[in-house]
Amino acid sequence: MNKNKTISSVILWSVISAAFIGPGTVTTAATAGSLFQLDLLWAVTFATIACILLQEVSGRLTIVSGLTMGQALSRKYGEQKSTWLKFLLGGPVILGCAAYEAGNILGAVSGLNLMSSVDTKILTIVITGVSAIILWTGKRNAIGWLMTFLVALMGVAFFALAIHTPFTFTDYLKSSLLPNLPAGSELLTLGLVGTTIVPYNVFLGSGISKGQTVPLMRIGLTISVLIGGLITAAILIAGTSVKSFSNFNELAQALTENSGAIGGLALGIGLFAAGFSSAITSPYAASIIASSVFDWNNKWQRVTWIIVLLTGFAFGISGIKPIPVILAVQALNGLVLPLLTAYLILLINDPRIIPAEHRHSPIYNVVLLIIFGSVLLMGLNNIDKSVSSWMELTSGHFGVMMGITSVATLYLGYKLFTSPYPLLKGEG
């Protein structure tokens, strides 16, 4: 395999790891380390593997069939039914990109604030302006190279924090491979999965895979997401050195006390890289969805990312936190990811879309069903939190959510393995 093409593929797919490591990932992983030490490191391992498998299916669907996600839905379900399916799956994800963009921009600003005293509003304008310039070029390779640099920057920063912890290689290996669920850690475990497997990355992976081969896609995707998983693990490990924190300034102070001046500086660099990369990839993903799901032309793709970026800028510069909007979007996205996963599983197994030589074994389907169950449980948890917060009710209906998840997963498995197409069962 051509070495240059392999490197190009890794650079291209670095967009995925740059997209899922945002300010939310920093907060979630650092909190997990702070509260439970290395006990939840296995959840990062699971989420990373699940992300690779789900993105592989998304990329293979487009490469092998030559169809975008929207076109594949139309072929399987017909134009009329697929129209509402596209809006059901793609619409809330674009709304999610807009709702979370303010957090991405302010995350980058928070990182810079840890290293400078420049006014927050000025930094917000600069971050938004630079993001707009990069997105306006529309050059996929240029965005890939920038994301590669930002991922590398995050890696150096967070690994610099992680090496100051007292754990051994055996501790890391054991915690990475052996599941452990301490009391009270259920929601954080789901959070670690949810911050790695995000709906817009599935669309993003499908959109950027066009023109690649399946082997190149698998290499680039696997290396990129593994690096992203290692960075998330490093953030969690760095979090084990602090007892608790409620904001990034407190975390920086605690890390400085434990690691010296490098602690606060590394957090600032890493947080800036995480926020800035997500501030670019979120609007970029929205434009990919506009293209690959709704088949909008270049003009409307550009309008889509501009609206997403300006929405984030408006909330960021005003200081207004759109809590009701974010809660509603969390609930919507809580439904979208498992739905998207289910339809992706059905599409990749349809012989009218995927030739026999490019379909996977029944064992792969079993693994995908486990991933579906995981993202459904995570989604139901997001809905439970959002609705409970909105209506000021008590949340934490974990047993009920487990029951619903089990029934839905078994039903999807039944639909998959009793399909009228014999090749779905690994025959022929």
More confident residue, 327 or 249: 249
pLDDT of the residue at 332: 67
Q: Are 239 and 32 in contact, with CB atoms under 8 Å apart?
A: yes
Q: Could you give the CA distance from residue 410 to residue 415 in angstroms, rounded to a whole number?
A: 9
pLDDT attached to residue 193:
87
Nearest to 206 by CA among 359, 56, 58, 11: 58
Distances from the Cα of 137 to the Cαs of 102, 130, 142, 291, 419, in angstroms? Answer: 22, 11, 9, 16, 45
Q: State the virtual CA torsion across 322, 323, 328, 330 in degrees, nearest 10.
A: 110
Confidence bin at 427 (pLDDT 50/70/90): very low
Structure tokens at 247: 């904001």
Interval 221-245 mean pLDDT: 91
Q: What's the pLDDT score for residue 424?
A: 43
pLDDT digits (tens, 9 = 90+) for 280-326: 999 999 999 999 888 888 899 999 999 999 998 998 888 776 556 55
pLDDT, tens digit, 9 for 90 and up, residues 4-17:
788 888 888 998 98
Q: What is the mean pLDDT of the chain?
A: 86
Q: Which of 344, 383, 384, 381 is nearest to 364 (CA)?
A: 344
Q: Domain spans of the chain? A: 3-319
Q: Does domain 3-319 have CATH number 3.20.20.70?
A: no
Provide the pLDDT confidence category of residue 422 given band limits of 50, 70 and 90: very low
Whole-Å CA distances, 423 to 346, 362, 395: 13, 10, 43
pLDDT band at 418 (very low <50, low <70, confident <90, very high): confident
Q: Give tens-digit pLDDT for 168-220.
A: 999 999 999 999 888 888 878 888 888 888 888 888 888 888 888 999 999 99
Confidence band (pLDDT; 50, 70, 90) for 269?
very high
- d(CA 204, CA 287) in angstroms, rounded, equals 9
